[in-house]
Structure 1
């Protein structure tokens, strides 16, 4: 009989990170396909008559063909229960991605074989390294002409500071792509460009097996054997301990769009990726095997189903077991609450869940009770480590065009702020008071305008502001009072904390020199993390 500890051990919860257009959503779809969660994979395009990717569920995502919000999908494969966190690849949504990574136990980094390590990949990789989670690498689009695999591995080491161990190796590339060699299981998977789903698997004794000449072009075979020899002599040794500590990344080659190499990656990943890991809290690490249920909110999403006008808080279960109807303690609000009908997800589709375990992601109906970072615990009162917000880099003053829509406009701003889609500020001691929205990237303004119009029926006017830096200010009371009297461009955040806005770093540094007793923080938790 399966115990609750067996259930936890079977969980694999991971995020997929990449630069835009590297094929992340396509890879996600193929993984769901293997798990039987979907019957066919959608193509990610911005046309009304095409299928849309399962993980791109918001209407604006379907129109633009990009992911702008994190999706959560769960499915079973063999004896594993897998939770995929599909993150927005677009650089403007890095804060949502960061919060999603706090809910993952490992990450898969997707790299385009032709482009290598790109800017967004580098940024997201840094976040993964901060958490020391294992990182698996899938080098995609091998059926198109790309860069030399050794060159890609060298670039990963130079730009990301991580060594790699190829779990499989490509034979040819682009038009000459003939398949992959699984170094661990010693088998060849042959690629058929006319029918990519028809994968022939050949067991071999190694790269120099004489039978290889029967199904691999001689010139490609010679090159492959030389590359294998070089890897064995000069490459890193296979080391599971270094993989689990995030020092060594297992590398897989394949083509997500052709569904080639994906299953090879999945099966190795499931053997190597960790089950749920302990989480840091203000009373020390919380083990997933603790009998007491606990979890934290890492995402809030309003109007996942526009017909229902609902709001869902995404909770990562960190320890123990959830059972339907159980009572838990909302630590920040210091009150008990009953979890009546949590759901699990396939993007926007959801099912009521009767039980769930550490590692799982469940959705809680949110009447306005939750904030990102909230801790829920069954009995003991403790809080998990807080999640920082990035300093916004773009700012706009925002008003509603029709005064009759003011109430729904305010509700929309409040909800989008609590989701973490925007940061909302109010001018400090200024009349009339202005509401200022801060975001990481300008595309978030477009999403804000779209969602306020379509979900809250509020047309807005935005006036761009010259600021590019926000800093939360703290220090001795006397110095703070002087600062608030003299400094211009001050706003307050949703908790009433003083935030200074600056046009540029020169202006900020001048102010720092003027007020040496004050601290200027990059995030709302008054900790400089970066």
Structure 2
């Protein structure tokens, strides 16, 4: 595997607007097992920043993908934390953010989607739109993020291409605009019809997709002679697509009302090159981002950025803490002293790094759209803003999800109490879990709150491996959450079926075993000031 590439080796102007035009910052979203991490690595392979792709998860004796680096990711074969990959391709700087596919880590994915300009929605050819994909697409829709669709695993048996396009149109309301069309049904993949040129693009199989798949192009006449009836069927279906409004409309894509569609196989590296070329050609470049007051921050304004993720443990030898910041305006220069908007205090950026999975290299400059890893940034939290110059600027905070699972955490080794407290604080700052406190339980028994129960597994594993502080969890029976508007009403909620917890952001959560318990409490105390848990920022 190569080292991190120099994304400025192709030359840079130093002008933030011109540099932003070269950036493509996007996330890959999908349901678990759709092949997202495999696609991420295949894109890096096509950009020639790695020489050999990692194995598909679960293959004994083979390397894992570069974007999955936590021990649990490698052993379970799933992505449980987002990862940033930055590399150069075709005079552009690619900032690719791989996201967790599992629903239990939706909060991490939501944070990543706040930092991108477009998304690649990955679908399994046999399964189509799955529940987690639908949830993540709703976030994209809410944020107006343009989406490119890649229908994956076409080398395996699956559904018909027209049926999948109909599902996209009917279930999420995006007009599909296929740029390639499969020649041969799923499981019998000969290649694709390039609908813009009319050519046939065929692929040569490689050793389990570890290396680039050779492509060959044939014109329509050559394809008809070689492929025969399946080519004829593909051309007829392509004509049908054109007649029904399925040709490329760039304005509709940028307006997030239509989606370009490509077919391929990430594990075989089929169609991945076309996806990378499409991102460079069509994906939106960074533009002015609205601040917390709704005023767009121009690209040429002084440096500004916001933190969308905090991660520790990327380098086990040093156990450092990295804050991932999306540059929004101006030029970032390593060593510059920025202002931390939340506190008004100066923040030195001496240790700034460019990230490629777990690999890192010092970065000297960065521009709008780039993701910078700020090392040992203990003062920074998720949603924080950094800026330079005047006037001050602050970007909207990143909302917290309403938790659905709760557990009391206790250390099993009293001699490691200090490490336990430090680890719990760190997990809270990173957003691995929400850490709540109870007046009745005390500081030694914090309550961990999660969107999904697998977050508890991550917290337990990391406390033991990084802080040598094994814990035991006592699951709590609560599943319904409300905000308590008047903290003076706490005593009304200390019952057998309800409890009160304090969040680090200062808000107070009232939790109930179920909806019946909530209704019963409200009948007894109609004066209770309870609200649905809205998007509350932690910082």
**Shorter chain as normaliser: what TM range?**
over 0.9
- Say whether the 8 Å CA contact 1:512–1:518 is kept in structure 2: no
Which residue of structure 2 aligns with residue 382 of structure 1?
Answer: 393
* Cα 1:403–1:35 shift into 2, 3 Å: same
Which residue of structure 1 aligns with residue 85 of structure 2?
Answer: 73
Cα displacement (A) at 1:176? 2.8
Equivalent residue for 1:198, pick from 214, 218, 221? 214
**2:518 is equivalent to residue 502 of structure 1:** no
- Say whether the 8 Å CA contact 1:191–1:260 is kept in structure 2: yes
Cα displacement (A) at 1:64? 1.2
- Say whether the 8 Å CA contact 1:15–1:107 is kept in structure 2: yes
CA distance in 1, matches of 2:120, 2:222: 34
Mark the runs of 5 or more structure 2 residues left unpaired by the alignment: 1-11
**2:249 is equivalent to residue 239 of structure 1:** yes
Which residue of structure 2 aligns with residue 106 of structure 1?
Answer: 118
More deviation in 94-103 or 222-231? 222-231
| Match runs of 1:124-143 below 5 Å | 124-143=136-155
Q: Secondary structure at the match of 1:94?
A: helix
Equivalent residue for 1:437, pick from 421, 445, 448? 448
* Cα 1:467–1:253 shift into 2, 3 Å: same
**2:493 is equivalent to residue 487 of structure 1:** yes
CA distance in 2, matches of 1:57, 1:435: 28
- Say whether the 8 Å CA contact 2:325–2:374 is kept in structure 1: yes
- Say whether the 8 Å CA contact 2:404–2:449 is kept in structure 1: yes
Which residue of structure 2 aligns with residue 182 of structure 1?
Answer: 194
Which residue of structure 1 aligns with residue 472 of structure 2?
Answer: 461
- Say whether the 8 Å CA contact 2:482–2:530 is kept in structure 1: no
Mark the runs of 5 or more structure 1 residues left unpaired by the alignment: none
Equivalent residue for 1:123, pick from 135, 147, 170? 135
Q: Cα deviation per residue 1:252-295 (whole Å; 9 max; x = unaligned)?
A: 00111111111112112211101112222134333452231000
CA distance in 1, matches of 2:415, 2:206: 60
Q: Cα deviation per residue 1:223-266 (whole Å; 9 max; x = unaligned)?
A: 22321221121233422111011110100001111111111121
Cα displacement (A) at 1:430? 5.0
Which residue of structure 1 aligns with residue 335 of structure 2?
Answer: 325
**2:363 is equivalent to residue 353 of structure 1:** yes
* Cα 1:512–1:269 shift into 2, 3 Å: farther
Q: Cα deviation per residue 1:336-365 (whole Å; 9 max; x = unaligned)?
A: 122112101011110111100010000112
- Say whether the 8 Å CA contact 2:289–2:297 is kept in structure 1: yes
Equivalent residue for 1:254, pick from 261, 264, 285? 264
CA distance in 2, matches of 1:472, 1:302: 30
CA distance in 2, matches of 1:301, 1:262: 29
**2:321 is equivalent to residue 315 of structure 1:** no
Please, what TM-score do these two structures have when normalized by structure 1?
0.93
Cα displacement (A) at 1:157? 2.0
More deviation in 170-179 or 77-86? 170-179
Q: Secondary structure at the match of 1:427?
A: coil
Q: Secondary structure at the match of 1:176?
A: coil
Cα displacement (A) at 1:506? 3.5
Please, what TM-score do these two structures have when normalized by structure 2?
0.91
* Cα 1:367–1:16 shift into 2, 3 Å: closer
Aligned residues: 516
Which residue of structure 1 aligns with residue 484 of structure 2?
Answer: 473
